[in-house]
Structure 1
Amino acid sequence: MSLQNLAATILARKSADPDSSWTAKLLSRGPEKCAQKFGEEAVEAIVEAVKGDRDALIGEAADTIYHLLVMCAARDVTLADIEAELSRREAQSGLAEKAARPKG
């Protein structure tokens, strides 16, 4: 599944019955719960990266990406929005982009 397909599926599930879809259930619990789930999955991916279990890291990374997109959808941020920001940043070096960010 491509990221575009995943994002489209998540968007479609925003209006689904929470009893019929895990994504709809997460979204129905609000942005805070979606953020919590994203954080949990990100930590699990970090643990697997530290442990060095490649297959487990792949699975946790997939979970993390899914939950990132769900969290963003809960705040009406689309994959296209994220891609646009990445494209904007592509024109400059990572060090220059980081230095240009507001402090704090």
Structure 2
Amino acid sequence: MSGIQRLADTIAARKGADPDTSWTAKLLSKGPEKCAEKFGEEAVEAIIEAVKGDRARLTCEAADVIYHLLVMLAARDVTLADVENELDRREGRSGIEEKASRT
């Protein structure tokens, strides 16, 4: 099992936890919109570190982005498996072809 899958499982397990004892539960208790906002903030921080070129800071921010992405997905009952299935569906198609199929 990958570290990302373990993290997704931990987030799912914390969904019903006490917000006073779990940061993840606290985020989820604030609703999907707040989870999405936090994901956006972390994504911007990762972008800033990517532009600066600080590899260590980018690595840390990327970990935050992945965590907050998984929390945002959990807030909307989207699982990591759902995302992996979508990636599998897209495999072998060019990005240009895939984007054109969305319109």
TM-score by length of 2: 0.96
**Structure 1: gaps spanning 5 or more residues:** none
Report the residue type matching 1:29 in the other structure.
K
Overall identity of the aligned pairs, in %: 75
Deviation at 1:93, TM superposition (A): 1.4
- 2-structure distance, mates of 1:64, 1:13: 18
Q: Deviations over 1:30-86 (max 9, x none)?
A: 001000000000000000000000000000000000000000100000000000000
1:23 aligns with 2:17: no
Report the residue type matching 1:87 in the other structure.
D
Deviation at 1:98, TM superposition (A): 1.2
Report the residue type matching 1:13 in the other structure.
R
Aligned counterparts, 1:1-104, within 5 A: 2-102=3-103
Instruction: Give secondary structure in 2 for the equivalent of 1:72.
Output: helix
RMSD (Å), alpha carbons: 0.9
Runs (4 or more) in structure 1 with deviation over 2 Å come to none
Deviation at 1:95, TM superposition (A): 1.5
Report the residue type matching 2:66 in the other structure.
I
Aligned residues: 102
| Structure 1 range deviating more: 57-66 or 90-99 | 90-99
**Structure 2: gaps spanning 5 or more residues:** none
